[in-house]
Amino acid sequence: MRLTRTHSCDVLVLGSGIAGITAALTAAEAGRSVILACKGKLFSGSSFYPGTWGLGLVGPADESDEADLAATIEAVGCGMADPAMVRAFVAGIHPAIEQVRSMGVKLRRADNGGQKEYIPCFDHKHRDWNGIEFDSAREIFSRRLKELSVTVLPGCEALELVQTDRRVCGAVVAQGGSLCYLGCKALVLATGGYGGLFKYHLCTADVEGVGQSLALDAGCRLVNMEFMQMMPGYISPAYQTIFNEKTFRFTRLRCPDGRPLLNGAAKELLTQRSTHGPFTSRLPSKAVDLALFRAFLEDERGVEATYTEEMRSDPPEFVKTYFDWLRESRGLTMEDPIHIGIFAHAANGGIKTDPNAFTGVPGLFAAGEVTGGMHGADRIGGLSTANGLVFGGKAGRSAAEACAETPEPPDEYLFHAASSGNVPEVLSTLQEAMFRNAMVIRGEEGLSAALGTVERLSADLSLCPSADVRAIAQTRRLTGRLHTAEAILKAALLRRESRGAHYRADYPEADPAQSSPIIVSQDSGAIRARFTKEDVPCS
């Protein structure tokens, strides 16, 4: 199918979470014409996930704290974070926060910031804690996008990146029942993580892992794909609401049959578990998550959680803020029993970029959760938002600069339109396989079985030429998810150790011989994972 270019701009941004919006604003402020295209509505992705009150944002306490924060990121990341990316990241956090504040976005500050609940998860000290409130962010960012004449295209799903002589110069998208070719001089991928590959996930429906697949097809490399944050969330009531980990030390946990979830040193384990949201294999508190996930696998009704009188009578400020929101938005109080399970949340891995958000492919930049490198095997709480602000800004600036002396995109593009009729069934099978075998508890047998399922599903897809845009988009989305799942599973199989968010039941300890990141690339159509020391850069 030959498509004629319907839109042209200097910078095309795909994705409208905090990274995409920041990239679009920055490129427009540099004087470039910008299109911001997003699959759903404006303000989507993990940044604006409705299952929590707002965006936690953490930065260095002051300039003298930057070195400690950088060192802590690398330590918490278990050697998997790129030091150059970390330095660029930390140096950019304070200016990014000040930029948001100067725009007028409301940042919530802590009245009792010295309480231990305000120490970011996996961190060892208090930092500069802020909370971006959703309503304020939407209002201010919307106004600024209009002031800068950024063209916003909601309901616009990216299906393929357009390249000429290896340079990215646009994208084919599905919008409103039509296929469109959007041309550009530079493109920013900010499509988010890959939580939607799992049956249970704490992210919006557009966080599907498709951007990582688009990047692989364009010649990019992925890094740290095996490090996926998993954390507790509500099964009932208020399905997919994030469970506040700070309450663990006040919580009683029981299996569906009434048995206590934990035996022995439950109090000590739950106290430690209250210091971090996602699962980690580094700490003894992993026993809480392992028990919770095993119970969840056996009975998907989830584990019952109730709160002690101590918390109900005098909750810490951070916890009270959460329950105030929970009461207003979900009608739930501390008195209500809930059932929780383990959900996929946020990706620490993704597209490998340099400190200026360049992917290595001419014309292509990336920012936010679609990327990897600035975090490692674990991530300090509040740095996901900071990542989107810092590298979204860098991507916007780099893309704006790349437009200089760049030729106009071609007028036409040949797109191979095909669809498959069994997409919902295949997707359900994929998500079940990832839930069973690639969540908290991983092992050679389960990962191999999941990889076999993914490869079989890919091979069995019956693709036929099609003019049905909805079916074409569904199929492209599915093939992208399968490719990204394959990348995750191959990285997880290769890493035969436990490190941070990656836990191998058959290799429960960290192995110093495997203390380097894993790169995933696509060579002649085949996805390959290898340790960094064995990696050969894409030519």
Average pLDDT over residues 268-291: 96
* Cα separation, 338 vs 313, whole angstroms: 19
Mean pLDDT of the region 236-249 = 93
What's the whole-number mean pLDDT along residues 281-286? 97
Q: Answer yes or no: are the C-beta atoms of 213 and 513 closer than 8 Å.
A: no
The CB density around residue 487, as the number of other CB atoms within 10 Å, is 28
Mean pLDDT for 515-527 is: 95
Q: Coil, strand, or helix at residue 336?
A: coil
Please determine, for residue 245, whether its predicted confidence score (pLDDT) is greater than 80.
yes
Q: Looking at residues 402-414, what average pLDDT do you find?
A: 93
Q: Which of 500, 395, 364 is nearest to 89 (CA)?
A: 395
Residues 6 or more apart in contact with residue 476 via CB below 8 angstroms: 159, 160, 210
Per cent of the chain over pLDDT 70 is: 96
Examine the pLDDT at 535 and tell me if it is beyond 60.
no
- Read off the pLDDT of each residue in 483-507 and give the average, rounded to a whole number: 98
Is residue 538 scored above 50 in pLDDT? no
Please give the biggest Cα pair distance in the chain: 68
Evaluate if residue 412 carries a pLDDT over 70: yes
pLDDT value of residue 151: 98
Q: Is 537 a residue whose pLDDT tops 50?
A: no
HSE, CB side, 13 Å, CA atoms: give it for residue 497. 16
Q: How confident is the model at residue 279 (pLDDT cuts 50, 70, 90)?
A: very high
pLDDT at 53: 59
**Across 59-63, 210-214, 413-417, least confident range:** 59-63
**pLDDT at 19 exceeding the cut of 60:** yes
How sure is the predictor about 113, in pLDDT bands with cuts at 50, 70 and 90? Answer: low
pLDDT over threshold 70, residue 223: yes
Residue 152, pLDDT score: 97
What is the rounded average pLDDT of the residues 268-282? 95
What pLDDT does residue 43 have? 83
Over residues 131-158, mean pLDDT: 93
Quick: pLDDT tens for 119-141. Answer: 888 999 989 888 888 888 999 99
**In whole angstroms, how large is the CA radius of gyration of the chain?**
22
pTM (predicted TM-score): 0.95
Average pLDDT over every residue of 197-220: 94
Tens of pLDDT, residue by residue over 157-185, are 999 999 999 999 999 999 989 999 999 99
